[in-house]
Amino acid sequence: MSHINDPRKAERSGAKLHALYCPEQGRTDADINNIVNRWLKTGTVPMVRRGQPLFGDFTEGQDLQDTMDRVLLAQAEFEKLPARVRRLVDNDPAQFLDALNSEEGRELLQAGGLKIEMEPQGSGESPPPDPKDPPSKASDPVAADPPASEE
Protein backbone atom coordinates (compact mmCIF):
# COMPACT_ATOMS: atom_id res chain seq x y z
CA MET A 1 0.00 0.00 0.00
CA SER A 2 3.01 2.28 0.19
CA HIS A 3 2.95 2.71 -3.61
CA ILE A 4 -0.15 4.92 -3.39
CA ASN A 5 1.85 7.79 -1.97
CA ASP A 6 4.94 7.07 -4.04
CA PRO A 7 5.00 9.59 -6.95
CA ARG A 8 7.12 7.23 -9.07
CA LYS A 9 4.43 4.57 -8.97
CA ALA A 10 1.37 6.82 -8.95
CA GLU A 11 -1.17 6.33 -11.69
CA ARG A 12 -0.28 8.48 -14.66
CA SER A 13 -2.75 10.19 -16.95
CA GLY A 14 -2.57 9.76 -20.72
CA ALA A 15 -0.92 13.16 -21.14
CA LYS A 16 1.75 12.31 -18.59
CA LEU A 17 2.44 8.97 -20.28
CA HIS A 18 2.61 10.71 -23.64
CA ALA A 19 5.14 13.19 -22.25
CA LEU A 20 7.08 10.35 -20.68
CA TYR A 21 7.36 8.13 -23.75
CA CYS A 22 7.42 10.63 -26.64
CA PRO A 23 10.62 12.53 -27.25
CA GLU A 24 10.39 16.31 -27.35
CA GLN A 25 11.30 16.52 -31.03
CA GLY A 26 8.31 15.67 -33.22
CA ARG A 27 5.93 15.36 -30.28
CA THR A 28 3.34 17.71 -31.79
CA ASP A 29 3.57 15.99 -35.19
CA ALA A 30 2.92 12.60 -33.61
CA ASP A 31 -0.01 13.73 -31.44
CA ILE A 32 -3.21 12.24 -32.89
CA ASN A 33 -5.21 15.29 -31.83
CA ASN A 34 -2.95 17.56 -33.87
CA ILE A 35 -3.09 15.18 -36.84
CA VAL A 36 -6.91 15.14 -36.81
CA ASN A 37 -7.11 18.93 -36.35
CA ARG A 38 -4.71 19.44 -39.29
CA TRP A 39 -6.81 17.10 -41.40
CA LEU A 40 -10.00 18.97 -40.49
CA LYS A 41 -8.42 22.33 -41.40
CA THR A 42 -6.52 21.41 -44.56
CA GLY A 43 -8.04 18.15 -45.74
CA THR A 44 -4.62 16.55 -45.97
CA VAL A 45 -2.98 13.91 -43.84
CA PRO A 46 0.75 13.70 -43.15
CA MET A 47 2.83 11.99 -45.78
CA VAL A 48 2.81 8.27 -45.32
CA ARG A 49 5.26 6.05 -47.10
CA ARG A 50 3.32 3.68 -49.31
CA GLY A 51 4.52 0.51 -50.98
CA GLN A 52 7.25 -1.91 -50.13
CA PRO A 53 10.64 -0.74 -48.91
CA LEU A 54 13.48 -1.18 -51.35
CA PHE A 55 16.38 -3.29 -50.13
CA GLY A 56 19.49 -4.21 -52.03
CA ASP A 57 23.18 -3.77 -52.57
CA PHE A 58 23.55 -0.38 -54.21
CA THR A 59 27.31 -0.11 -53.83
CA GLU A 60 27.91 -0.90 -57.51
CA GLY A 61 25.44 1.72 -58.73
CA GLN A 62 26.20 4.93 -60.48
CA ASP A 63 27.21 8.02 -58.62
CA LEU A 64 25.75 11.45 -59.22
CA GLN A 65 28.36 12.41 -61.80
CA ASP A 66 27.68 9.28 -63.91
CA THR A 67 23.97 9.93 -63.75
CA MET A 68 24.37 13.58 -64.74
CA ASP A 69 26.59 12.54 -67.66
CA ARG A 70 23.88 10.15 -68.87
CA VAL A 71 21.25 12.88 -68.61
CA LEU A 72 23.42 15.29 -70.60
CA LEU A 73 24.06 12.64 -73.26
CA ALA A 74 20.34 11.89 -73.53
CA GLN A 75 19.59 15.63 -73.83
CA ALA A 76 22.21 15.98 -76.59
CA GLU A 77 20.72 13.01 -78.48
CA PHE A 78 17.23 14.48 -78.12
CA GLU A 79 18.46 17.81 -79.51
CA LYS A 80 19.73 16.00 -82.63
CA LEU A 81 16.12 15.22 -83.58
CA PRO A 82 14.53 17.46 -86.21
CA ALA A 83 12.96 20.61 -84.77
CA ARG A 84 9.47 19.69 -86.07
CA VAL A 85 9.62 16.37 -84.15
CA ARG A 86 10.79 18.07 -80.95
CA ARG A 87 8.04 20.67 -81.38
CA LEU A 88 5.43 17.88 -81.41
CA VAL A 89 6.46 16.96 -77.85
CA ASP A 90 6.96 20.56 -76.64
CA ASN A 91 10.76 20.08 -76.66
CA ASP A 92 10.40 17.76 -73.68
CA PRO A 93 12.39 14.48 -73.68
CA ALA A 94 9.99 12.94 -71.15
CA GLN A 95 7.02 13.63 -73.44
CA PHE A 96 9.05 12.18 -76.31
CA LEU A 97 9.56 8.93 -74.41
CA ASP A 98 5.87 8.83 -73.48
CA ALA A 99 4.98 9.31 -77.15
CA LEU A 100 7.31 6.49 -78.18
CA ASN A 101 5.63 4.18 -75.67
CA SER A 102 2.10 4.74 -76.97
CA GLU A 103 0.60 3.78 -80.31
CA GLU A 104 -0.99 7.21 -80.83
CA GLY A 105 2.26 8.96 -79.92
CA ARG A 106 4.26 6.87 -82.38
CA GLU A 107 1.76 7.67 -85.14
CA LEU A 108 2.04 11.38 -84.33
CA LEU A 109 5.84 11.25 -84.40
CA GLN A 110 5.83 9.33 -87.68
CA ALA A 111 3.44 11.89 -89.18
CA GLY A 112 5.97 14.53 -88.07
CA GLY A 113 8.70 12.82 -90.05
CA LEU A 114 10.36 10.54 -87.51
CA LYS A 115 11.22 7.07 -88.82
CA ILE A 116 10.45 4.48 -86.17
CA GLU A 117 11.52 0.88 -86.65
CA MET A 118 9.71 -1.45 -84.28
CA GLU A 119 11.27 -4.73 -83.23
CA PRO A 120 8.90 -7.70 -83.04
CA GLN A 121 7.68 -8.19 -79.50
CA GLY A 122 7.33 -11.49 -77.68
CA SER A 123 9.28 -13.72 -80.06
CA GLY A 124 11.06 -15.22 -77.06
CA GLU A 125 14.20 -15.74 -79.12
CA SER A 126 17.53 -14.16 -78.37
CA PRO A 127 18.91 -11.82 -81.02
CA PRO A 128 21.20 -13.39 -83.59
CA PRO A 129 24.90 -13.29 -82.69
CA ASP A 130 27.01 -10.51 -84.12
CA PRO A 131 29.18 -12.02 -86.89
CA LYS A 132 32.10 -9.80 -85.80
CA ASP A 133 32.19 -11.37 -82.32
CA PRO A 134 33.71 -14.85 -82.03
CA PRO A 135 31.50 -17.32 -80.15
CA SER A 136 32.37 -17.67 -76.49
CA LYS A 137 33.15 -21.04 -75.01
CA ALA A 138 30.27 -20.71 -72.54
CA SER A 139 27.73 -20.38 -75.36
CA ASP A 140 29.25 -23.21 -77.41
CA PRO A 141 27.85 -26.50 -75.99
CA VAL A 142 30.63 -28.58 -77.49
CA ALA A 143 33.41 -26.39 -76.10
CA ALA A 144 31.73 -26.08 -72.73
CA ASP A 145 31.78 -29.85 -72.05
CA PRO A 146 35.09 -31.22 -70.79
CA PRO A 147 36.63 -33.95 -72.89
CA ALA A 148 35.46 -37.42 -72.01
CA SER A 149 38.06 -39.44 -70.19
CA GLU A 150 39.01 -42.74 -71.74
CA GLU A 151 39.04 -45.66 -69.35
Average per-residue pLDDT for the chain: 74
Cα–Cα distance list, 65 to 57, 61, 68, 72, 85 (Å): 19, 11, 5, 10, 29
Judged by phi (left if over 0) then psi (alpha if -120 to 50, else beta), residue 49 lies in beta
The answer to whether residue 88 is domain-embedded is: yes
Q: What are phi and psi of 17, to 5 degrees?
A: -65, -40
Mean pLDDT for 108-125 is 75
In whole angstroms, what is the distance from residue 32 CA to residue 12 CA?
A: 19
129: nearest Cα among 117, 121, 142, 138: 138
The answer to whether residue 1 is domain-embedded is: no
The answer to whether residue 51 is domain-embedded is: no
The answer to whether residue 90 is domain-embedded is: yes
Q: According to the model, what pLDDT value does residue 134 have? A: 56
The answer to whether residue 71 is domain-embedded is: no
Note down the domain range covering 27. Answer: 12-42
The answer to whether residue 119 is domain-embedded is: no
Total number of domains in the chain:
2
Mean pLDDT for 46-60 is 76
Confidence of residue 3 (pLDDT cuts 50, 70, 90): very low
Interval 58-78: pLDDT, tens: 777 778 888 899 999 999 999
136 vs 109, which has greater pLDDT?
109
